[in-house]
A = this chain, B = another copy of it.
């Protein structure tokens, strides 16, 4: 029950007042009494309910009741009025000898007001949900959901819908959350009363509200033809207008509003937004009206969600360059065989930048009423810089980015360094949307590269895939996809973590040597590439030392992943991959050099995962009985999981440029079935 509001009356005056059904008026009887009053009586028409406190002993309130210092009258109206002032209540005051000293006459008009949203998250705006004014996570939670309107209804003269303060197409409305103002009462409100919708200054940066002028009718053909949407959907609230009157339509009526999210949760924005609807009572000219009733609806802006390798692919993006025909052919075969759509980004758009993985990350936003993919554009900004905005952004395809200072951007800001795990449970805590994984320098490092703060802040603020920071600065390129990947599995947790493992590599090579294949050669059949025998590799003490270091770096990450994803050793598969260290100039101080790692032969863990089909960099390993021992080992490790390996030759066009299949591709995937608002937080 709502707190009643203090209402003052004067004796010997007729006072008119509007009362919202469900709320009450609290009249201090003593305060409004004529001097010398000792008793009072109360009378009302049937629709007006009242109670007296302290409760009088008298059963009829028509005979005088002793007036006390604390005497108060609580008035309520049980249903909306048919006519203005159709409820009446009178108070009579008496002196010591029960002589009438004065009386109060109240004319009451009752209205029902409810600002309604989809607080139960079923895609439909229900009526006056008791929980609409707060937000709670979980399957037993409540509270409405808002999407950032980050797509663009137009493909030409493109602009994010959230950057324009008008509804430009009817299709734009489905990106917004419907909010309904339901009112019931007389044909019009008593003079001077009005309804106002309002938001706080803080929330106004994150939300905009439009009204549907034609209540409910959205598909008038003429309107569509002549794009009269701006007139049909006037802007009610925005950064510029925090409070605006909305019409009271009279009788039983519903007015539709469309609420649009403008920005994603971030370090300074928890994602919660309140929209208020108040009934204002007039005082007189030059004085602000008093809000006498406020209904509030709370929304949470939907977070940006990433999709792990275990989700079904929709389309695969690859760049076409002057030198990657071989690779493209391999990819096309794999993707066609797997039954997915291949989208090629041509050279005019990629400007020679082949690293499709690195410029962007596919994700999505979801609400009970609508869902669409959203690309996160990296601040990396090389040749593919314009691709996410120019090619991907469109109707029901959203776009978000974070702008960093040029000097703060490093190779670790490429999104080969941003991945997400499949769903996991860690010490009883569920992550049904998995956990985001990024790579940084050791927290103990006094120098080192990092993912830029604005992107990290954004990722952490989404909350639903709580990030884990791994150590990737030991690699020249510095991306976590150089040493790890996830593949689906029919058993255990539904997936395996694949880790590059020099130890596994050495073990395999030592086995080959023992079995008499020490002279088998790596890199056979590759032009311009010096071949290496197994014996040569095993005899290279320097290489062994370098790989010991690499193994210890990967083991460090292995321990973090086991702890933060709740994995056992049985959930992890070590892939036989060797690395080597290169001497690198320090970004900040050219005089200093640092040793960092690259893959010695194509880095098989850097694969593309398309359902049960894996596209793996062809390793060009030593051949035994005509088959590459690395491919054989890889296939044998994956076969047990029902996965099929396709080896793709990326040697010249990717591997030699320090990337592989995964770096050179990107997969848009189906969203999770699990709804983020059902997370228990």
Residues of A near any B CB (own CB < 8 A): 3, 5-8, 10, 28, 31-32, 34-36, 70, 72, 196, 198, 200-202, 241-244, 267-268, 276, 278, 280, 283-284, 286-291, 294, 441-446, 448, 450, 453, 473-474, 501, 503-504, 507, 510-511, 513-514, 545, 548-549, 551-553, 555-556, 558-559, 562-563, 569-570, 574, 583, 593-595
Contacts and interface: CB of A to CB of B under 8 A. Distances in A.
A200 B6 CA distance: 52
B552 A283 contact: yes
Given A5-B559, A6-B559, A593-B286, A569 B72 contact: yes
B503 A32 contact: yes
A291 B34 CA distance: 81
Nearest to A7: B555
B284 A549 contact: yes
A444 B35 contact: no
B3 A563 contact: yes
A280 B559 contact: no
Contacts of A595: 286-287
Contacts of A507: 31, 35
Nearest to A195: B444
A286 B594 contact: yes
A277 to B, nearest CB: 10
Chain A contact residues: helix, strand, loop or mixed? mixed
Nearest to A266: B268
B559 A510 contact: no
Nearest to A594: B286
Contacts of A556: 5-6, 290-291
Contact of A198 (B198, B288, B290, B443): B443
B594 A445 contact: no
26 contacts: A5-B556, A6-B556, A7-B555, A8-B503, A8-B551, A31-B574, A34-B510, A35-B507, A72-B569, A198-B444, A201-B450, A201-B453, A202-B453, A241-B446, A243-B444, A276-B443, A278-B443, A280-B444, A283-B552, A284-B549, A286-B594, A286-B595, A287-B595, A288-B448, A288-B474, A291-B443
A36 B515 CA distance: 10
Contacts of A569: 28, 70, 72
B3 A562 contact: yes
A196 B8 contact: no
Contacts of A555: 5-8
A243 B443 contact: yes
Contacts of A444: 196, 198, 243, 276, 278, 280, 289, 291
User: What 8 pairs across the A-B complex have the smallest Cβ distances?
Assistant: A6-B555, A286-B595, A35-B514, A35-B510, A291-B444, A196-B444, A3-B563, A31-B503
